[in-house]
């Protein structure tokens, strides 16, 4: 595969509604090496593809009067959230809903695309496999397991059905075209003992893993923390500001040592998420997503997540 890898963040989600077949197919057409599905669970244990388990903002569930009484408030990873949750719906019920653009005011053009049914993890794998045959390029998948501890507490373990699908699709080897992501440490450590697939520890500038109270991502990206991370994962998956912080004025600041430190620990580095809209860019790169991405390529990152994979491919050295 090319390097750095370009991973289509929920598909070409800057130009099509995220996590839809249209978004994934456009990403592949634009040259993405991997497509990313976020995984949550249905009430009856199916792995389905949604940004979060709360689906009020990503489906038309509010238009279904038969589901009005499912609206509730739950605490997800310590945050109270009100809406409709996938774990309260059977797979058959979820299939009656339609996926919708999550950011309609920011990406109004995406609202013009026809609503689609909610995809399953297997369907995303199938999209990648079919595209591999069609294009002659190996198209990988980069699934993210969302809130596994929350689902576990709800009596829905994500690990067993996930591992079963990975094994069934011959994606459990170290050289398989898959990168498995999670913000939680325990889930990755468990998966490390069950499959040889490459694993990626997601980390953000603030907070820490929901399953390890008291642990911080800041501590995990120190040289000592990265050495510990390398014992169970192959990738450090970090937000852009952990590599190039923003100045108080919002411009790109001085790069950190994270990429070099991770490489020294034997880890690859993937950075998220590159978006074209000015509100997501540093002030000195407004209107210049290619230049912003190239700053990270020049630092030696091994992969990027982008809502605009075509831009990331074109910027690649």
Q: What is the Cα–Cα distance from 160 to 7, expressed in whole angstroms? A: 25
Q: Are 91 and 44 in contact (CB under 8 A)?
A: yes
Strand spans (E) along 55-165: 72-76, 79-83, 140-141, 144-145
Average pLDDT over residues 208-232: 97
pTM > 0.85: yes or no = yes
Q: Give the pLDDT band (50/70/90) at residue 2.
A: confident
User: In this model, does residue 121 exceed pLDDT 90?
Assistant: yes
Number of compact structural domains in the chain: 1
What percentage of residues in the chain have a pLDDT greater than 70?
A: 100
User: In this model, does residue 114 exceed pLDDT 90?
Assistant: no
Residue-range definition of the domain harbouring residue 68: 5-315
CB atoms closer than 10 angstroms to residue 257: 12
Average pLDDT over residues 1-11: 95
Look-up of token digits 């829905």: 156
Lookup: tokens for 218: 């800041």
Average pLDDT over residues 28-49: 98
Average pLDDT over residues 161-182: 98
Q: What is the Cα–Cα distance from 140 to 106, expressed in whole angstroms? A: 28
CATH of the domain at 239: 3.20.20.190
Q: Give the pLDDT band (50/70/90) at residue 160.
A: very high
Sorted by sequence, the CB contacts under 8 Å of residue 244 that are 6+ apart come out as 252, 253, 254, 255, 256, 282, 295, 296, 299
Q: Which residue has the higher pLDDT, 77 or 274?
A: 274
Residue 185 has a pLDDT of 98
CB atoms closer than 10 angstroms to residue 254: 7
State pLDDT tens for residues 242-282: 999 999 999 999 999 999 999 999 999 999 999 999 999 99
Residue 301 has a pLDDT of 98
Q: Give the pLDDT band (50/70/90) at residue 1.
A: confident
CA distances from 121 to 56, 96, 151, 166 (A): 20, 17, 16, 10
Q: What is the Cα–Cα distance from 21 to 30, expressed in whole angstroms? A: 14
User: In this model, does residue 115 exceed pLDDT 90?
Assistant: no
């Amino acid at each position: 595969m090319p390097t750095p890898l370009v991973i289509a963040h929920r598909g070409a989600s800057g130009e099509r509604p995220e996590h839809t077949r249209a978004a994934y197919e456009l990403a592949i057409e634009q040259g993405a090496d991997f497509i990313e599905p976020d995984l949550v669970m249905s009430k009856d244990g199916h792995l389905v593809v949604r940004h979060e388990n709360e689906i009020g903002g990503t489906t038309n569930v509010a238009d279904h009067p038969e589901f009005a009484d499912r609206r509730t408030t739950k605490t997800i990873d310590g945050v109270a959230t009100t809406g409709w949750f996938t774990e309260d719906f059977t797979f058959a019920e979820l299939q009656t809903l339609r996926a919708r653009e999550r950011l309609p005011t920011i990406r109004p053009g995406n609202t013009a695309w026809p609503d689609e049914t909610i995809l399953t993890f297997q369907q995303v794998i199938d999209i990648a496999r079919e595209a591999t045959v069609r294009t002659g390029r190996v198209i990988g998948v980069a699934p993210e397991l969302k809130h596994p501890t929350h689902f576990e507490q709800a009596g829905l373990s994500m690990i067993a059905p996930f591992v079963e699908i990975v094994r069934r699709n011959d994606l459990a080897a170290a050289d398989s075209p898959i990168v498995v992501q999670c913000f939680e440490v325990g889930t990755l450590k468990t998966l490390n003992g069950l499959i040889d697939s490459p694993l990626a520890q997601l980390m953000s500038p603030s907070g820490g893993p929901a399953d390890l109270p008291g642990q911080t991502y800041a501590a995990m990206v120190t040289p000592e923390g990265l050495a510990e991370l390398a014992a169970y994962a192959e990738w450090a998956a970090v937000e852009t500001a952990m590599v190039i912080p923003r100045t108080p004025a919002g411009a790109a600041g001085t790069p950190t040592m994270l990429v070099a430190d991770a490489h020294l620990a034997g880890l690859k580095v993937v950075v998220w998420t590159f978006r074209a809209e000015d509100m997501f860019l540093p002030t000195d790169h407004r209107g210049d997503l290619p230049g912003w991405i190239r700053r990270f390529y020049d630092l030696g990152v091994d992969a990027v997540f982008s809502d605009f994979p075509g831009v990331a491919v074109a910027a690649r050295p």
